[in-house]
């Protein structure tokens, strides 16, 4: 157990952050290069920055999606994302580890708020899992990666909650703490290479979509030819 703790709190932790940083830099570099390339060949280079900013805010606070059959899923997803963002970054214990390691610190969430966000995130994860299992369309589109990422996030949040509340811990504290360290480190490692990567690429998503609809010069004529409507307005 001592060896496992040494590896989890030392080499594995440094490896996880190294993979996260290098993977994030790679993703950002590739995205920026593709955005520049798309912008250069776009027939219409006018980018509606204000509109894209408003649309991005709409994704962060999905008010317009709160209708129809997916309302519960939308709420659960939003709650999970809030917890996934705030708890790891603003938990007092995490900040203390960062301060011990590199000397940086910032204000932490109150313990009650962190507990509430953790429980809310777990509830959101539960709803998302049930939606993927019970909804026919969602089940058809879900992959093994989707379920693995859900399970990994659930383990990280559950183990983290019990680490913060050792009196309620159903397992030995050291074992639960090890589960939390390893699951969190695995999330850091897979984040740049899985669907979790949208956490890194979110600011660029809207501009990529916008540029994708701008035809390259001559693209309209090629579409007319493909549709058998050469010389006709489309």
> pLDDT (tens digit, 9 = 90+) per residue, 116-174?
999 999 999 999 999 999 888 888 888 999 999 999 999 999 999 999 999 998 889 88
3-state secondary structure of 21: helix
CA distance 137 to 88: 32
CA distance 121 to 144: 21
Average pLDDT (33-39) is 78
Decide if pLDDT at 230 tops 80.
Answer: no
Place of tokens 């060896």: 3
Are the beta carbons of 163 and 173 closer than 8 angstroms? Answer: yes
Q: Which residue has the higher pLDDT, 221 or 126?
A: 126
Q: Which residue has the higher pLDDT, 45 or 144?
A: 144
Place of tokens 């001592």: 2
CA distance 137 to 147: 15
Q: Which residue has the higher pLDDT, 116 or 78?
A: 116
Q: Which residue has the higher pLDDT, 104 or 90?
A: 90
| Residue 211 token pair | 């540029």
pLDDT tier at 231 (50, 70, 90 boundaries)? low
Q: Which pLDDT does position 66 carry in this prediction?
A: 54
Q: What value does the mean pLDDT of the chain take? A: 81
Q: Which residue has the higher pLDDT, 101 or 51?
A: 101
Q: Which pLDDT does position 72 carry in this prediction?
A: 80
Q: Which pLDDT does position 110 carry in this prediction?
A: 92
Conformational region of residue 228, where left means phi above 0, alpha means psi within -120 to 50, and beta covers everything else = left
Q: Which pLDDT does position 148 carry in this prediction?
A: 94
Decide if pLDDT at 67 tops 70.
Answer: no
Average pLDDT (22-50) is 78
pLDDT tier at 222 (50, 70, 90 boundaries)? low
Q: Which residue has the higher pLDDT, 228 or 22?
A: 22
Q: Which pLDDT does position 180 carry in this prediction?
A: 93
DSSP state of 228: T
């Amino acid at each position: 157990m001592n060896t496992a703790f040494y590896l989890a709190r030392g080499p594995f932790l440094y490896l996880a952050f190294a993979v996260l940083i290098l993977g994030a830099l790679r993703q950002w570099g590739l995205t920026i290069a593709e955005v520049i390339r798309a912008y250069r060949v776009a027939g219409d280079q006018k980018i509606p920055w204000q509109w894209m900013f408003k649309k991005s805010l709409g994704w962060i606070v999905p008010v317009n999606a709160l209708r129809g059959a997916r309302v519960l899923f939308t709420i659960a997803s939003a709650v999970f994302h809030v917890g996934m963002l705030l708890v790891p970054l603003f938990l007092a214990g995490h900040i203390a580890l960062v301060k011990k390691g590199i000397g940086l610190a910032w204000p932490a969430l109150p313990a009650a708020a962190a507990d509430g966000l953790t429980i809310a995130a777990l509830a959101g994860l539960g709803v998302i899992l049930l939606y993927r299992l019970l909804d026919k369309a969602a089940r058809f589109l879900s992959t093994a990666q989707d379920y693995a990422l859900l399970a990994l996030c659930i383990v990280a949040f559950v183990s983290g909650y019990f680490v913060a509340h050792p009196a309620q811990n159903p397992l030995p504290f050291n074992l639960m703490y090890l589960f939390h360290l390893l699951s969190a480190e695995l999330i850091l490692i897979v984040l740049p290479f899985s669907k979790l990567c949208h956490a890194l690429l979110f600011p660029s998503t809207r501009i990529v979509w916008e540029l994708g609809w701008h035809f390259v010069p001559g693209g309209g004529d090629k579409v007319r030819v493909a549709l058998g409507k050469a010389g006709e307005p489309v």
